[in-house]
Structure 1
Amino acid sequence: MAAGIGVMMYTVLDQARADLEGTLARLAGMGYLGIETYGLVEHFGPARVRDAIAAAGLTLTSAHTPFPAGSRAEELLDANEELGAEVLVWSMEREEFDSPDAIRRGVERVNEAAERAAGRGMRIAYHNHFAEFSQEFAGKRAYDLLLELLDERVLVELDAYWTVMGGADPADVLAGLGERARFVHVKDGPAVSYEDDVMVPIGEGGIDWARTLSAPSGLRWHIVELERLHVDTFEALRRSYDHLVGRGLSRGAFVPAPTEERA
């Protein structure tokens, strides 16, 4: 069975902060099954976000939130426990992939977070950008070194778009990750510039999603994230849903009618 389709809430952060319940209801009405939170708990508090997700009939796939390590660890864990999050997702910084030693130091923070989260019945997932794949040391990709050092309890959320920009094939990466890969961020566009790329609806860019999403892996969720757009955000999300669910790549609340029937 295809993985469920969700939305990374950064995509509609402004809209959600203006109308949380209305935005979630609109996503559910399009057929999306779940959401990954970003920037909502800090704005509304965990209880309201949790209740709004439930009221919309959506599933909380994961929470995109800093690693619960260091001085803020308990505060972050408290908020996400109240939210009802089972998996907390975050990244290391780009400069932490400048050397093997920098990677090792960064991983200490992630592994601390994994240990603390486990004490609350939660798990950590690692979300990549492009440096993990563009950097190599003695013939080994930084990402592979990262995986070797991470606590085995740490799951993976693969951002396929940044993987491509880092010079790797997300289908091959997913196949190599196996069951550890539980989430994939689905975005489309030119895959040229981390700072300047403008995204397009899924299926209208250059990434081969049929190959990527059919790779054998443990994926449970395909999470659409469209960071910068030149078209209406909800229109882009609708077109993305139609592409992914209409072609059987992702599982949604319903299968969209063919384009000619909707016209």
Structure 2
Amino acid sequence: MSTPQLSLQLYSARQVLETDEEGTLARLAELGLRNVEVFDFVRRAKELSDTLGRHGLSARTGHANFLSPEIAQVKDTFAETLEKTFAAARQLGLETVIDPFVPAARWAEEEEIARTAELLNEAAEAAADYGLRVGYHNHSQEFVHSINGSNAFDLFVSRLDPAVSLEIDIYWAAAGGKDVVSLLRRLGSRVQALHVKDGAIIDDPFSSDTPFDPARTGQVAPGQGEVPLDAALAAASDAKFAIIEFDYYDGDIFEGIEAGVSYLSKRGIV
């Protein structure tokens, strides 16, 4: 069993980053963070790398939409998208590039699930040429469908090349109706990163016709909600990163992050 390293998905602090990036990153460093997970990095990799470096922060994982051009709103081919994404990742010093969201409609049919897995496998092969890995980050929509008696997410994982990593968002897996501890034990070493997130366990909001409102998630600092984080962390014995994230936080985001850092540091994750 290895001890994961502490990190923060910078999306958690997106509002304050927009108004004061330098001050925000300085504050995060003061809270004890040394690793962060970046998002929206492809268009500004050099600038972001320089800014992180000024505050003693490193990024070894990052989120980029390369499986769903409709989300990324780009007209490049798949190969062009991968080339730009991986070149930017190299510039930042990332180890793993993670696609954070494939829309709900693509998890209801076996053919679409197979296509998503195939694209990830192709991306993994291309990433290897850059010395990188790729991964997938779940929400809840991946878990709510069954295909011929198999859960959609399990079917997806069964089609993935072993080179593809999984980043399990514990909160969203619980919202998808999964026993997250059993899930993590079953996935074993496939899980290289965790999103440590807490709150009330809600129903999957992504497969409905109602627009997703992050404010309805009721997210709180890790250890203060209903998600069994302690047991989940113990079950993910091969995870390299424990990454704090808030989709929404009703309060001072720095206080929420500080509480998350404290929660994980008490468990030896620093």
User: What is the TM-score normalised by the length of structure 1?
Assistant: 0.88
Distance 1:80 1:166 in 2: 30
Quote how far apart the aligned CAs of 1:216 are.
4.5
Is contact 2:191-2:236 (8 Å) kept?
A: no
The equivalent residue for 2:49 is 50
The equivalent residue for 1:255 is none
Give structure 2 stretches of 5+ with no counterpart: 68-77, 206-211
Which amino acid in the other structure matches residue 93 of structure 2? G
Is contact 1:87-1:122 (8 Å) kept?
A: yes
Residues 164 and 97 (structure 1 numbering): CA distance in 2 closer, same or farther, change over 3 Å?
A: same
Is contact 1:181-1:218 (8 Å) kept?
A: yes
How many residue pairs end up in the alignment?
A: 248
Is contact 2:4-2:240 (8 Å) kept?
A: yes
Which amino acid in the other structure matches residue 226 of structure 1? F
Distance 2:239 2:146 in 1: 26
Give the RMSD, CA atoms, in angstroms. Answer: 1.7
Residues 76 and 40 (structure 1 numbering): CA distance in 2 closer, same or farther, change over 3 Å?
A: closer
Quote how far apart the aligned CAs of 1:238 are.
1.0
Is contact 1:157-1:183 (8 Å) kept?
A: yes
The equivalent residue for 1:257 is none
Q: Tell me, what secondary structure is at the counterpart of 1:126?
A: strand
Percent pairwise identity: 31
Q: Does 1:100 align with 2:110?
A: yes
The equivalent residue for 1:186 is 196
Distance 2:80 2:166 in 1: 24
The equivalent residue for 2:143 is 133
Give structure 1 stretches of 5+ with no counterpart: 253-263
The CA deviation string for residues 24-81 of structure 1, in whole angstroms up to 9 with x for no partner, is: 2211211123100012553xx2112112222322231301012373442212222222
Which amino acid in the other structure matches residue 257 of structure 2? L
Aligned residue runs from structure 1 range 77-156, under 5 A:
77-90=86-99, 91-156=101-166
Aligned residue runs from structure 1 range 6-17, under 5 A:
6-17=7-18
The equivalent residue for 1:65 is 64
Distance 1:41 1:25 in 2: 22
Q: Tell me, what secondary structure is at the counterpart of 1:88?
A: strand
The equivalent residue for 1:74 is 83
Which amino acid in the other structure matches residue 250 of structure 2? H
Which amino acid in the other structure matches residue 269 of structure 2? R
The equivalent residue for 1:226 is 246
Distance 2:181 2:121 in 1: 26
Residues 216 and 223 (structure 1 numbering): CA distance in 2 closer, same or farther, change over 3 Å?
A: closer
Residues 40 and 72 (structure 1 numbering): CA distance in 2 closer, same or farther, change over 3 Å?
A: closer
Which amino acid in the other structure matches residue 17 of structure 2? A
The equivalent residue for 2:39 is 38
Quote how far apart the aligned CAs of 1:22 are.
2.2
Distance 1:138 1:71 in 2: 35
